[in-house]
Structure 1
Amino acid sequence: MSTPETDVSTNAGSTQARVVVGVDGSPSSIAALRWAACLAPSMNAQIQAITTWQYPTGAGAGIGMGGGVGMEMADAPEAVATTILDQALSAAFAHTPPAGLHRATLQGNPAQVLLDVSTDFDALMLIVGSRGHGGFVGLLIGSTSAYCAEHATCPVLVVHAAPDEGEK
């Protein structure tokens, strides 16, 4: 994907409205990107796609929206996160990303990073998938979306992927 990496800290406070999207490569996060592409133009907003990463500290630590995704990431978690974001953007938009798409991989807890970015940009909306690649699958599934829905200062859209996209 040829979309350049964006440092969200230098763009915070921008006058351009943003829709923030949490991306972990799961089918529901890819669906969230597609929803953002449909909704952002009607709000005269740009899309800020965010993938998070953390250094592995034990079971469940890792990439995306709540934990590990089964990739080798001990040496370069940020590089793995960037690859996940690239692949998700490619899956969502083929090779034609929407105009005004910004992207970033940021270190930290997925829910907190998404809340911080959406607050920093005074986002019009935060969009997350209903189920991601979380740690302790079954226990924490949906924890990031639930936390964001409860604590965000903007409207939150929680997107379910279609059953044929891998969500059951």
Structure 2
Amino acid sequence: MSNPPVIAAVDGSDHSLRALEWARTAALSRGTGLLVAHVLPDVSQLYAGRRSSLHDPNEPARFADPVGDYVRGVLEAAPALPPEVRYEALEGSVPEALRVIAAEAAPMMLVMGSRGRGGFATLLLGSNSRAVATTATCPVVVVPHADRDAPGGAPADGAPGTYSHGADPHGTAPPAAGASAGRVVLGLHAAETPEDVLLFAFAEAAARGTTVQVVSAYAVPPGPTLIVDSPFQVIPPEALADDGDAVPAEREMLRAQTERLAPLRSRYPQVPVEQAAVPGDAAGRLVDASRSAALVVVGRHHPRRRSLLMGSVANAVLQHAHGPVAVVPALHPDEDS
């Protein structure tokens, strides 16, 4: 594939087929190829190893791969396919096999379901999905299972300190992925989020023809009265030019956002931008926004902390989001954000 492909990880489960549909649509919107990757079950891997070690010419050269055959049938029934579709049967553990193919193919993104055939019915995030999202060298999009779909509703314009640049979005999310049509939501720490995370969010919004809503959280100072889930306050752009009535921390956060987003606005002038400064819990606000978002984009962890653990915000959003979540690593960790 000449351009970086979109990889869809499948295991034949309904969850992975939702991810496959999301990946198919993403590849179409980006004009790139689709690589469908399936890690063979243990029994098939044992058979392949036995045949290789015995060199038995009487054994059939191809072992049964019902998942591969099933997925090919699903794709053949799709209304449209990317310019190139390739299928790869992998061996090894699921996380390691997917990490290897992601490193080799250098994909635009790797898409997988929030859980596969294993686990129990109420499991929010499977171990394989968590492991791949934590360690892959490319952005990983996790598509939640149907039980976590939001019951529909209008996009949430009411974030504290929200103001917009440009027209309302008219983007379209893949229907089988469970996300309603809406904006791309970007969780941003203005001083720490790597540039790769911002670039991914804006590129995805440009491909979808929709808006980027940027959500940043600021600390709430302790006080005698704490108002939880207070009504959203909307701040128009002109309010930033004077004293206004905004909380000082909101105003400072919006200013920091504006400065950080300036290069992205220049690079993607066709992408409308909405900015939101929210008190306290960034993860909770992002989960709320996921109810009407086409995609929520978060950074994997702090770029200057060489930890193998996923950041708390990314982990919480993956666990509870109602729509697809993209976890983006620092692809160029040696560069300053």
TM-score by length of 2: 0.35
**Which residue type is aligned with residue 257 of structure 2?**
L
- Give distance in 2, aligned partners of 1:87 and 1:111: 23
Q: What SS does the aligned partner of 2:322 have?
A: coil
Query: Of 284, 290, 293, which aligns to 1:118?
Result: 290
2:273 is matched with which residue: 96, 101, 104?
101
For residues 40 and 91 of structure 1, the distance between their equivalents in structure 2, rounded to whole angstroms, comes to: 16
Q: Is the 8 A contact 1:29 1:129 kept in 2?
A: yes
Q: Give the aligned length.
A: 135
Q: Is the 8 A contact 1:46 1:100 kept in 2?
A: yes
Once the 2 structures are TM-superposed, how far is the Cα of residue 30 of structure 1 from its aligned partner?
3.4
The DSSP-based 3-state class of the residue aligned with 1:56 is: coil
Contact 1:126-1:155 at 8 Å conserved across structures: yes
Corresponding residue for residue 204 of structure 2: 39
Q: Which of 325, 328, 333 pairs up with 1:156? A: 325
Q: Judging changes above 3 Å, is the alpha-carbon distance between structure 1 residues 15 and 97 closer, same or farther for their aligned structure 2 residues?
A: closer
* Runs of 5+ consecutive residues of structure 2 not aligned to the other structure: 1-155, 163-167, 171-181, 223-246
5+ residue gaps, structure 1? 1-6, 58-74
AA in 1 matched with 2:297? I
1:129–1:159 CA contact under 8 A, matched in 2: yes
In 2: Cα distance, 1:51 partner to 1:88 partner = 12
Once residues 320 and 184 of structure 2 are traced to their aligned partners in structure 1, the CA distance between those partners, rounded to angstroms, is 16
Find the residue that maps to 1:24 and give its secondary structure.
coil
- TM norm structure 1: 0.65
Q: Please give the secondary structure, in 2, of the residue aligned with 1:45.
A: coil
Alignment of structure 1 residues 21-36 onto 2, 5 Å: 21-36=186-201
- Decide whether the 8 Å contact of 2:187 with 2:215 is kept in 1: yes
Counterpart-to-counterpart distance in 1, 2:193 and 2:270: 18
SS at match of 1:165: coil
- Offset, 1:41: 2.4
Q: Is the 8 A contact 1:29 1:159 kept in 2?
A: no
Distance 1:97 1:103 in 2: 16
Identity %: 25
Question: Does the 8 Å CA contact 1:124/1:154 hold for their aligned counterparts?
Answer: yes
Q: Residues 132 and 83 of structure 1: is their aligned pair in 2 closer, same or farther, counting only changes over 3 Å?
A: farther
Name the amino acid aligned to 2:213: Q
SS in 1 for 2:298: strand
Q: Which residue pairs with 1:63 in the alignment?
A: none
